[in-house]
A and B are shown apart, each in its own frame.
Chain A
Amino acid sequence: MNDARCEEYHELVSAFVDERLDGPDLLRLETHLEACGGCRTFERELRHFKELLPAVEAFRTLRRPPAGFAALVAARAVREQGALTVPFPAARARGRWVGMVAAAAAAALFFAWSWQRLLPVGSPEQKFAARSFSPGVEVAEAGSMDTWMREHAMLARESTLLGHAEEAEFASFNAGAVAGR
């Protein structure tokens, strides 16, 4: 037996060689394997492949971390801790308060940006708008608006990854509000 139905069994064979098949699927596959030489060959090849892959890779020379890597990374991580944007649990209460202030700053930023786009380039109104706009403490600490935006874009990705929907939404808003500049 070696027909289109074998395709369906091949995925079971793959799980079978990983010893991840049980119950009715296992029974069904074992029954099929007794009758199907093609699938038995596939099983044999797959087992061989699964053994060969790490065996061959074992002879590859993988790079190892340079000497002092752990110390350097730890020092950098702790040094940059002051610029953390994802708060630790103990700092969450303070983080919320900072977040509200930052949200207000972001809203003001977005408003100023929208207004500026409506004004003729180089007009006194535009210059006034640029001078009068205060990006807030966060932007000042970041060093520049672009840096602040990039940090928020990164924070949005990290927060999404970590499942922090609220932070992700907030950071996306901050990053997106200025991204269209």
Chain B
Amino acid sequence: MSVTNDVPGSGAGDGERQLVEAARRGDERAFEALVLKYQDRIYRLIQRLVSGSDVIDDLAQEVFIRAYRSLGDFKGESSLYTWLYKIALNLCRNHYRTRGRRPAHEELDEADGAVGMEAAGGTPEDEVFRREFWDHLRLGLDELPAEQREAVVFCDLEGMSYEEMAGVIGVPIGTVRSRIFRGRRALQERLAPFHAARAGAQGRAT
């Protein structure tokens, strides 16, 4: 069964609707095609919301298992990806509730950043900046209240619209707007010492 290139966020296309219908009837290949289509996005979202590489596979798998169980309730009014995001968000929230939030100051993964930055090119100073900025950013995200972290991740990293966010998070658009603002401001404040130190170092170097 082929998969059409429906644009995520634009609602389910005909190809996707057919896959959903087939999966509802127990067609394993159809459901596999749906998982294949969205697995990268779900993996990425989970890594943005939850620290700790040991749980990513389990959480991602659970997202799709629960989606399959509830496929009968998917009406196609929203896009399948936002519906999957809703399930993923709920599982991530359960995870950081049971773990007592994201593990702030968790040791950064060995692979987290290093490989990609080396491959990114640029001057050594650029690489150092990106690495340090990312380390500070990640710790800053860890320290945000969950609702603000989710808002920043959905808006600035996932590129979702306010309407999509309101649907996934289950709050009014005004609340979405407020959470994005508070999250961004808190992160900026968290990163201000890093920028000041960097500016100071550049000043001394010239």
Name A residues whose Cβ lies closer than 8 Å to a Cβ of B: 10-11, 14-15, 18, 20, 45-46, 49-50, 52-54, 56-66, 69-78, 80-81, 84-90, 157-158, 161-162, 164
Contacts of B113 in A (CB 8 A): 59-61
Q: Does B139 contact A (CB under 8 A)?
A: no
Contact with A along B68-81 (1 / 0, CB 8 A): 11111100000000
Q: Are B134 and A56 in contact (CB under 8 A)?
A: yes
Contacts of A64 in B (CB 8 A): 40, 43
Contacts of A59 in B (CB 8 A): 113, 116-117, 120, 130, 134
Q: Are B28 and A74 in contact (CB under 8 A)?
A: yes
Can you offer 22 A-B residue contacts whose CB atoms are under 8 A? A46-B184, A54-B157, A57-B137, A58-B116, A59-B113, A60-B112, A61-B112, A61-B114, A62-B44, A62-B47, A63-B47, A65-B39, A66-B57, A73-B61, A74-B28, A74-B32, A74-B68, A77-B68, A78-B68, A80-B65, A84-B69, A88-B71
The A interface, classified by DSSP as helix, strand, loop or mixed, is helix
Q: How far is the CA of A24 from the CA of B74 in the complex (A)?
A: 38
Q: Does B17 contact A (CB under 8 A)?
A: no
Q: Are B35 and A69 in contact (CB under 8 A)?
A: yes
Contacts of B155 in A (CB 8 A): 18
Name B residues whose Cβ lies closer than 8 Å to a Cβ of A: 24, 26, 28-29, 31-33, 35-36, 39-40, 43-44, 47, 53, 56-57, 60-61, 64-66, 68-73, 86-87, 90, 94, 111-117, 120, 130, 133-134, 137, 152, 155-157, 159, 162, 177-178, 180-181, 184-185, 187-188
The B interface, classified by DSSP as helix, strand, loop or mixed, is helix
Contacts of B47 in A (CB 8 A): 62-63
Q: How far is the CA of A158 from the CA of B62 in the complex (A)?
A: 12
Task: Name B72's contact: one of A20, A78, A87 (CB within 8 Å).
Answer: A87
Q: How far is the CA of A72 from the CA of B115 in the complex (A)?
A: 28
Shortest Cβ gap from A179 to chain B (Å): 17
Q: How far is the CA of A81 from the CA of B115 in the complex (A)?
A: 40
Most chain B Cβ neighbours within 10 Å, of A45, A54, A61: A61
Q: Are A88 and B72 in contact (CB under 8 A)?
A: yes
Q: Are B185 and A81 in contact (CB under 8 A)?
A: no
Contacts of A57 in B (CB 8 A): 134, 137, 157
Contacts of B73 in A (CB 8 A): 86, 162, 164
Contacts of A90 in B (CB 8 A): 72
**Residue of chain B at shortest CB distance from A83:** B69
**Residue of chain B at shortest CB distance from A79:** B28
